Amino acid sequence: MLNIYCPHCGEHREEDEFHYGGEAHIARPADPSAISDEEWAEYLFMRKNTRGLHHEMWYHAAGCRKFFNATRHTVTYEIQETYKVGEQPQQGGQS
Amino acid sequence: MSQKHRLQGKGRVDHSKPLSFIFNGKTYQGLSGDTIASALLANGVDVVGRSFKYSRPRGIMAAGAEEPNCILQVGSSEATMIPNIRGTQGELYDGLTAASTNGWPNVDKDIMGVMGKLGGSMMPPGFYYKTFMYPQSMWPKYEHLIRKAAGLGRVPKDKDPDTYDKLNHHCDVLVVGGGAAGLAAALSAGRRGARVILVDEQNEFGGHLLHSTQPINGQAPTQWVADAVKELQGLPDVTLLPRSTAAGYYDQNFVTVLERRTDHLGERATGKTRQRLHRIRAKRVVLAAGAHERPLVFGNNDLPGCLVASALSTYVNRYGVAPGNNLVLMTCNDYGYQAALDWLDAGRKVAAVVDSRHSPSGARYQALKARGVKIYTGHGLIEAVGKKRVSGAKVAALSSDGSQVTGAVETLSCDIIASSGGWSPVVHLTAHTGSRPVWSDEINGFVPGESVQKQLLAGGIQGTYALSKVLAEGLTAGRAAADATGYGDISAQVQDAEIKTEDPKEDAAQALFLVPHNKPVSRAPKQFVDYQNDVTAAGIELAVREGFESIEHIKRYTAMGFGTDQGKLGNINGMAIAARAMGKTIAETGTTVFRPNYTPVTFAAFAGRNAHHLFDPARFTAMHAWHVKSGAEFEDVGQWKRPWFFPKNGEDMHQAVNRECQAVRNSVGILDASTLGKIDIQGADAREFLSRIYTNAWAKLTPGNCRYGLMCKEDGMVFDDGVTACINDQHFVMTTTTGGAAGVLQWLELWHQTEWPELEVYFSSVTDHWSTMTVTGPNSRKVLEKICEDVDLSAEAFPFMGWRDATVAGVKARIFRISFTGELSFEINVQANYGLHTWEAVMEAGAEFNITPYGTESMHVLRAEKGFIIVGQDTDGSVTPFDLGMDWCVGKTKPFPFIGQRSWSRSDTARTDRKQLVGLKCKEPKTVIPEGAQIVLDPNHPVPVPMVGHVSSSYYSANLGHNIAMGVVKGGLSRMGETVYCPLADGRVLEAEITSPIFYDPKGERQHV
C-alpha cells in the first residue's frame, strides 16, 4: 500500500484515501472539431504506459478532494514527488 | 505415557509443569514451554504425516518456520481449529488437540501408500497434468480424491467464535527478528530515543541464542538475552511484540505483522482478541530475520529421524529433548559439527561425523576429534537406511569437489541422522517488494538484492553468521536507523557498550547440495528436495531433460516451493540441482520469487472486525426504521439498504410488486428516493459548467425549473443521468444515480480542477443532507394538498418539471415535479432528520387513498413500462445517447464542445448498425425473458450463431397484463416489428417482437396532469 504525500493537505496519507487518476499532462484539444479522428483517438485512447518514471494524476477522494500529480516509478512504485495541477514536475522530464 | 526422549532437567521447558495433549487421537504428555513438535519428539513419535504424492512416512525435520512435514490442524472443534500450523511453531497448552493434515485415513496406514509404493516411477513430475487432466470433465472428481488423500489442511466448517482485530502503527524503526542482531539493533535505536517496534515470531526473544552455547560477555547467551529484553522493556518508546510474525513487506515500508495473542493459552481466546494484524508503516525497517539451515539431499533423506543439524541443537538445548540415541552427522561446513557436540553433551552417542571436505581443521572439528568421535573426512552420507525410522546410514568416499562417489560403500548403524548443507539467509521479506535475491559464492546462499525500500540489514539475513559480527551489525544498523529518522543529534552522546564474544575458528565451507550416490540420480533411492510437494532431485533433472530452462518454469512443473512452507527448506537445494543439470551456475539460474505471506495467515486475521454484519459499511435512509417495521425486504444498492418490495399477508415478490405497481397507476404510491446522489453546485459559472458536462442545453433553464440531463465520458458513451434543478442563476442541485454519486462528483472535480480551473464553480455532496420521497400516482396531488398549504400545487401554477420551496407537514421542503413512473409525481425533499416525520405525515394523509409504499423492484417495472433507462442496467459503457434513441437529450447548438460530443462522429460511433435500445415483447404474454438473454436473428443458424444483442431489462407488467422488456439490438431502431429470438440455457427459444420501449402512455400525458 502506497504512502502518498498530498501537496494540498501537506501530509503523507495512506493509499486508501486516494483514487488513481491515470496519466497526467494530457491537455484536452481546444477545438475538438478541428482535429482529425486519428488525432482525437490519440488524445482519447493512447497512453505512454511508461516503464520507469511516470507522471500521473491522483485524487484525494477521502481527503481534500483535490487532484494532484505524482511522479511515480512504475517498477519500484517509488513516488519521487507530488505537485499541484498546473505545476511542472522536477523529475522524469517535463511533460 | 513416558517422554522417553526427554533430557531430565535440561532446556528452557518447565519440568515441573506437565501438560497433556492429544495427537491423532492419542493422549501424550509434554511440558510447559514445549512446542507441539518438541513434545512429539520427546514422546518418540516418529511419523507426523504422509507425503503429498508418494505417501511416504514423514517426521519432524526442523525446529522453526521452515518445517515442511509437521503441518497440523490444531483445535478440537470445527469452530476453533486452525489449519496449517507448523508443529515446530505451535506452542503446547494443556488439552491441545492436533491432527496431521497429511495422510488419509491415518498416518500409519495410508491408502495412498499403496499407490506410492506401486507408483514410484509411475509418478514423475507433471504426473497430475499428464494423467488427470484428460478428459477435462473428470478433473473435478480426480481433484476431490487427490486433495482428500494428500491434503494440506482444510477449512474449518463452523463459524469462528473468537474476535480478531487490526491495529495501525507508525514508528521510526521496525526491527524484524528478535535474535542476536535484532535485539542489538533495537537496543541501539531505542537508546537513542527512536520509536521502535521489535517483532519476533517466537514465544520468547533470542532466536538462535536460546540454544547457543557460545558465551557473551562471559556469561550464558540467554543471560545476555534476558538483560537486553529487560533494558528494552525499560525504554519508553520501544514496543516488544513476541509471537508476532512479519508476514508481508509492502511498498514504502509497510509491513503486516500477525500477532498470535492467545493461541498459546488454549483454543478459545479468553478476554482478548485471538489474533491481531498489526499494519506498520515504518520510517526504517531493520531486517534481522536470520537464516535457515539447509539439509543435504541424499537417498531416502525423508526418513523419520533425519533432521537438520541445528534443529538437533535446538531440541537438545532449548527443549530438553534428544530424539534418538546414536547419531550420524553429515556436514560440509564447520558449524554443522556443533550439533554433534551438543548431542554428546546431552549424554548421547555419536556414531560418526561425515564431512565432505577432505581436510577440515576448525575449532569444532578439533573439539570433536579430541572427544574421540569417528570423523569421515572427504566422505558423503549417500543414503539413509530404515523403514519408518532411520536404522542406518550408508557412507562412501567422495571426490574432492563432492560430485562423485569414489570409494566403497560402508553402512553405519544409527537411529538418527542430522545434516548441514550450510545456511540460507531468510530473504523472503526483501523479495516481497520486488527485489530479487542475488547469489553469493562467498556464503553459498542468496542474499537480499538491491531494494528501493528504506531498509537496513543485520546478521544472518545478509550471510553474516559469526556471532560477534552479527551483534556488531545489529548495533550499527540500529544506530543508523535512529540517525536516519531524526535522532542523529542524540546519537553521538549515547554509548553502546561493546558486546564481547569469541567466535570459534572456522574453515571455509564446501558448496554441497546433493550428496552423490553410487547409482545415478535417476536410479538412486529418492533424494528429496521439497518435502511438502515430494519433489526429488531426479524429478528436477527430468524437468530439465524435458526442456524446462527457466527456474520459474521448473518450479511450476515440479511444484517445488508450492507448499504452505514455500520451499523454505528445499528451494535453494532445488535451484542448485537445476543449475547443475543445465550446466549453469546458481547465479545464472537465479531464484524464484517469494511472495507474502511468510507463513500462512488466517483469513480471520485479515478480516479482523470487518466480518459478518460489519463486513462492509451499510448506509440507511432516515426512514429505514419505518421500512423495517413495515416488513420490507431489502436490496443492496452500493452500500445503501433500499426497500426492495413491501410484501403483505404472505405475498411473494411478484404478487407484492404487481399490487404496488397497480396502486401507483390507479391511486398513489410512495418511494423512498433518499439514496439518489445529490450534488450542490454553486458559483458564477455553474451554468456554463453544466452545459460542458451534460449533453443537453442548460442556457435557458430558469429558477424554479428542473431538467433531465445525460452525462457522457469523452468517448461519447453514457455514464450517468439525472435531474438538475436551477435554484438561482448561480446555484443548481444535481441528482445522480444511487451507485454513481461518488464517481460523478470526482468527474466534476476532475474537469473543473484539471481543465477549466478558470470557471468559478464549487461542488458539494449533499446526498445525506436530504431525505427524499416520491409521491406518485393520479391521487398524489390530493394527498400533498392535505399537508402542504403554502404552495399552489395545481398544474397551471406548478407545472411538470418545476420545483417549489414549500412547507410540508410543518417542515421546510423542496418539492420537485419530476417523474420516474410517468404518473403525476411530487418528489418531496426535506432536511434529512425530518425524513421520517414527513414520510409518516404523507402516509397518514394518503391513508384515504390507500397510499402504497413501493420498493426498487416496482420502481424498475414502472419505469420500464415507460421506457425510462437505468444507467448501468440498460447501458454498459458502450452506449451513446443516439443508441438509446435519446437524440432529444443532445444539444445541437451549444457553443462549447461539450464532453463526449466529438466522439460521436468517429467512424465506429457513427455506424448505423450499432446496438440500439429497443422494446421487446415476448410472444407468450405471461413469459418473462430472462435479463441477460442473448438475442439472435435466426435460431436455426448453425453454431456459432451470430449474437445481435441482449436483453437488459425484463419484467411482467400487471398494468399491461403482459411481459415487457428492453434490450440492445444491432440496428434495432430500424427493425421495429421484426421478430428476434432468445435461445435460453434450458433449451427453450423465446420469440420476441421488437417494439418501441415505451409500453405505457406513449404520449406521456399522465405526468403532465
Q: What is the mean pLDDT of residues B130-159?
A: 65
- pLDDT for the residue B2: 81
Rounded Cα distance, B755 and B748, in Å: 11
Rounded Cα distance, B187 and B280, in Å: 19
- Per-residue pLDDT reduced to its tens digit, B213-243: 999 999 999 999 999 999 999 999 999 999 9
Asked if the Cβ–Cβ distance from B750 to A77 is below 8 Å, we say no
Q: Which of B250, B281, B753 sits opposite A85 (nearest CB)?
A: B753
* In contact, B536 and B509? CB cutoff 8 Å: no
pLDDT at residue B726 is higher than 70: yes
Asked if the Cβ–Cβ distance from B905 to A37 is below 8 Å, we say yes
Q: What is the mean pLDDT of residues B496-509?
A: 95
pLDDT at residue B619 is higher than 50: yes
Asked if the Cβ–Cβ distance from B434 to A2 is below 8 Å, we say no
Rounded Cα distance, B172 and B49, in Å: 43
Q: What is the mean pLDDT of residues B555-580?
A: 92
3-state DSSP assignment of residue B871: coil
Q: How far apart are the first and last CA of chain B?
A: 92
Asked if the Cβ–Cβ distance from B742 to A78 is below 8 Å, we say no
Give me the interface pTM, i.e. the ipTM: 0.97
Rounded Cα distance, A11 and A15, in Å: 12
Q: Nearest-CA distance from A67 to chain B in Å?
A: 7
Rounded Cα distance, B29 and B17, in Å: 10
Q: Nearest-CA distance from B453 to chain A in Å?
A: 9
Burial B379-392 (b: 16+ CB within 10 A, else e): bbbbbbbbeebbbb
pLDDT at residue B136 is higher than 70: no
Asked if the Cβ–Cβ distance from A21 to B750 is below 8 Å, we say yes
Rounded Cα distance, B638 and B995, in Å: 32
- pLDDT for the residue B120: 47
Q: What is the mean pLDDT of residues B487-504?
A: 92
Average pLDDT, chain B: 94
- Per-residue pLDDT reduced to its tens digit, B795-814: 999 999 999 999 999 999 99
Angle formed by the axes of helices B180-191 and B467-482, nearest 10°: 30
- pLDDT for the residue B591: 86
Query: CA of B250: which chain A residue's CA is closest?
Result: A1
Q: What is the mean pLDDT of residues B402-430?
A: 97
- pLDDT for the residue B118: 42
Considering just the CA atoms, what is the radius of gyration of chain B in Å? 37
- Per the listing, cell 489474533 goes with B275
Chain B residues closer than 8 Å to A36 by CB? none
What the block records as the C-alpha cell of B88 is: 515446530
Q: What is the dihedral of CA B432, B434, B435, B441, to 10 degrees?
A: 80
Residues 6+ positions from B983 with CB-CB distance below 8 Å: B934, B936, B939, B945, B989
3-state secondary structure B238-262: EEEECCEEEEEEECCCEEEEEEECC
Interface test with A, best of B432, B754, B899, B908 (most A CBs within 10 A): B754
- pLDDT for the residue B114: 46
pLDDT at residue B147 is higher than 60: no
Which of the residue ranges B28-32, B735-739, B914-918 would you say has the lowest mean pLDDT?
Answer: B735-739
How would DSSP label each residue in B652-667?
Answer: -HHHHHHHHHHHHHHS
- pLDDT for the residue B283: 97
- pLDDT for the residue B37: 98
Nearest alpha carbon to residue A79 among A26, A8, A9, A7: A7
Q: How far apart are the first and last CA of chain A?
A: 27
Asked if the Cβ–Cβ distance from B906 to A67 is below 8 Å, we say no
Asked if the Cβ–Cβ distance from B753 to A19 is below 8 Å, we say no
Confidence of residue A80 (pLDDT cuts 50, 70, 90): very high
A52 reaches B (C-beta below 8 A): no
B754 reaches A (C-beta below 8 A): yes
Asked if the Cβ–Cβ distance from B250 to A1 is below 8 Å, we say yes
pLDDT at residue B143 is higher than 70: no
Confidence (pTM): 0.91
Chain B residues closer than 8 Å to A75 by CB? 434
Asked if the Cβ–Cβ distance from A65 to B749 is below 8 Å, we say yes
Q: Nearest-CA distance from B898 to chain A in Å?
A: 9
Chain B residues closer than 8 Å to A61 by CB? 742, 746
Q: What is the mean pLDDT of residues B872-886?
A: 96
Interface test with A, best of B251, B433, B759 (most A CBs within 10 A): B251
What the block records as the C-alpha cell of B417 is: 541422522
- Per-residue pLDDT reduced to its tens digit, B332-359: 999 999 999 999 999 999 999 999 999 9
B902 reaches A (C-beta below 8 A): yes
Residue type, B916: Q
Interface test with B, best of A59, A64, A74 (most B CBs within 10 A): A59
Q: Does residue B944 have a cis bond before it (omega within 30 degrees)?
A: yes
Rounded Cα distance, B701 and B695, in Å: 14
Confidence of residue B117 (pLDDT cuts 50, 70, 90): very low
Rounded Cα distance, B64 and B91, in Å: 12
Rounded Cα distance, B383 and B631, in Å: 74
- Per the listing, cell 458536462 goes with B693
Burial B213-225 (b: 16+ CB within 10 A, else e): ebebeeeebbebb
Chain B residues closer than 8 Å to A40 by CB? 902-903, 906
A38 reaches B (C-beta below 8 A): no
- Decide the pairing of beta strands A3-6 and B26-32: unpaired
Q: Nearest-CA distance from A75 to chain B in Å?
A: 9
Confidence of residue B144 (pLDDT cuts 50, 70, 90): low
Asked if the Cβ–Cβ distance from A40 to B903 is below 8 Å, we say yes
3-state DSSP assignment of residue B887: helix
* In contact, B634 and B641? CB cutoff 8 Å: yes
